[in-house]
A and B are shown apart, each in its own frame.
Chain A
Amino acid sequence: MNQSLIEDLRRIASYAVTRLLMLFITVTIGVYLTIWIANMGGKLDELREVQIRDQTAEAVRADPSFFSLPSDEQQQLVEQQVQLEIKRLRLDEPFINRSIDYLWQGMILDLGRAENMSSDSGSRQVRDIIVERLPPTLLLFGTANIIIFVTSILAALALSRRYGSPADRAIIALAPTSAAPSWFYGIFLILIFAFIIPVLPAGGMVERPPPEDKLLYALSVLEHMLLPLLAMFIGAIFVSIYQWRTFFLIHSSEDYVEMARAKGLPGHLIEQRYILRPALPPIITAFALTLIQLWNGAIILEQVFNWPGLGTLTFQAIGLRDTPVILATVVIYAYLLALTVFLLDIVYMILDPRVRLQGNN
């Protein structure tokens, strides 16, 4: 017994390392592709060069100490400074060299200073900006995901016990409403609860100015979270319940469940041991997959609710063409996705009894 446990752990560890390596390579390739897209295959650098030239020329022209210089000397000075700046940003090298640099910096999230953006605390370090925006996103989407997941599983179990009931029919009828994304319901919710009956804030994360008191601050955040949470809840809950209910129904028509019933086991025991236990790996998979989808949808929902998270940051960074920040957000997304996939793999492996069976053979 003990030996087989060690064997299991060894297998899990070696599997984990292989998976981690694979995922790391995957993330690297993904990030590198993004670097190319974000720089328009190097074309963005030409734009930046023009921008540098304009700014330098403007600076030299506006500086009173250069007023007395003849215009060709001014021209020379501008050219000199432009070349220096180009050297500093290494724009004179082929893009491929810099792209490798970007990749390395991106992967270790050491992207230096943002070009145009700054964090709310005033720092221009990309890392500070990201670190500031990550918690709101995790808070909102983590909470929403857990609420949706737990509610839908419980509701689905309850419905699968008496399918065909009016509640069950209602869920089937309502499932197609999940075709609309959460931001779509968000707009309706803002319309109703922020404008027609103004009881909740239309956007943002905390009231302005933020309350000093910790408790009041938390309450204010909670108040601002209600509408986006509700939007995500409405957008996902019905289809989620529907799918789980169908899933449980299929599982509860298995022979071994019939057998358990025939033995006269009580309902909750059947659910725990014969329906939920074998269904656990797919449930975990589905949970992780919805997580991935939610990361993707975050950018629009955050934009609609003006939530100061990663999604809004991505959007702002793209608008300002701030390559380091764009890159950093994509890297963070990629890492979050990879982490989700990795955890999924590991949990799956621990939960799936076949892994242990294979080990014993």
Chain B
Amino acid sequence: MTKYLRLVSRYPSAAAGIAIITTLIVMSVLTIIAIPYSKAIDMWRGGEQWQDNPINASPAWSNWFRDKKLPRTIKVASNPADIVETEIGGVRRALVPIEFEYNYDGFPSEVNLFINTDSEGPQPFARITWHTPDGREILISGRALRPNERISISQDRGLERRLGAIPHVALFKATNSDLALRGRYRAEVEVLLFDPNATVTAQLLSYGRVHGIAGTDHRRRDLVIAMLWGTPIALAFGLVAAVGTTITTLIIAAIGVWFGGRVDATIQRITEVNMILPLIPILVMVGTLYSTSIWLMLALVVGLGIFSSGIKQYRAMLLPIRESSYIEAARAYGAGNRRIIMRYMVPPVLPVLIPGFVSLIPAYVFLEASLAVLGLGDPVLPTWGKVMNDALSQGALYHGYYYWVLGPALLLMLTGLGFAMLGYTLDRIFNPRLRQI
């Protein structure tokens, strides 16, 4: 064992491969501990829980490479202490200021205002004004308030016409340039309350254009969830599929070689039929007609992989073993067929298969991604392939949301490279003829 470790350490590409694989495994374990399976599925389902996230925001670190900084999401609630109340003839007038610092050059992606009132009787009335750092005052709207009013400033067509630009751009734009004006902004909500006991709170949400480490998608979901959870899924899929196909194929090949004759012939014929069956069309077919569950796909991949072309290669390795003297010895002491196959024929071949096996893992990782990119990803699980599929079907490249494709692509590439680099080196180590070269 230490001998092999020393051999591996002599190859930098293998060391890099091992480092990548270890990182991915650690990442998977931490992910599973931090975000349990059911929680991950629930989070990925989306909905209410993500309503404070912007749509299609780039990763926050992308600002490092920009001259013109894009805003993060700013969420400010009114401070009860700042509310100024006056009374005019039985009507209470509450002035609710919301102040915030805006230190970005880009414009927000959306601005919403939430006003909560608990008043009985006639509906309260609000007049909302916007105060820019350079002292301009812009009237946003005046309206009657429902108890939980959500004012979508960005979607206010009247305001857009009045300002001559999309509201969230016009409200932040400096007068002398195309960039946003930095400084302290104030939104003022003036509410007329007709109920003496009513209270009012307001909240301003300026959705940013950057968010988190991985950005967000079209449903406001934080892509970090998919990046993290994609790791254990990809590794598990690749590993199980590679182990499943390699071991079963090997055992089938050993059975064929051991029994010979008709059994062997049958196995060879099945293999030929299986080679004719087009794997991906069948997977797509089953995915569309039955279910796209990742476990079904995995079972199918393993099932169709049992009689794969590898059988021919394994046969060539197993045939000399069948004739070797220790098999004869096993037979002499009365070992059964099963014992001979499982104890004496399969184990000696295993080390030779390791390089091929390691190189097989990325193939299956990419197969899973391929299915997801075709829209046949698991319906509930967040995977890298599904993120790419979302991105491509939402025209991410066309709209310039490159992060959406590059994030999962980078992780896929890293996984593929990690296993492939290790696999190639192992191939050179285990294959003595290659080692000399």
Contact = CB atoms under 8 A, between A and B. Distances in A.
A219 interface: no
Contact of A179 (B279, B281, B362, B373): B362
B417 interface: yes
Contacts of A188: 409
Nearest to B271: A26
A283 to B, nearest CB: 17
Interface string B398-411: 10101001000100
A173 B272 contact: no
Interface stretch (B145-153, B208-216, B227-235, B285-293): B285-293
B397 interface: yes
Contacts of A179: 359, 362-363, 366, 416-417, 419-420
B21 interface: no
A329 B282 CA distance: 11
B416 A180 contact: yes
B388 interface: yes
Output the residue of A33, A187, A242, A334 with the most chain B CB within 10 A.
A187
A318 B285 contact: yes
A195 interface: yes
A129 interface: no
A29 interface: yes
Contact of B289 (A29, A44, A180, A249): A44
B359 A187 contact: no
B402 A334 contact: no
Contacts of B373: 183, 300, 303-304
A180 B366 contact: yes
Contact of B279 (A33, A175, A180, A296): A296
B397 A190 contact: yes
Given A183-B373, A195-B400, A176 B13 contact: yes
A45 to B, nearest CB: 12
B429 to A, nearest CB: 14
A338 B275 CA distance: 9
Given A180-B416, A184-B412, A22 B282 contact: no
B319 interface: no
Contacts of B330: none
Given A29-B273, A194-B397, A34 B282 contact: yes
A341 B277 CA distance: 13
B136 interface: no
Given A26-B276, A30-B276, A329 B281 contact: yes
B409 A187 contact: yes
A300 B258 CA distance: 40
A318 B288 contact: yes
Contacts of B420: 175-179
Closest CB pairs A-B (n = 4): A176-B420, A179-B420, A179-B416, A179-B362
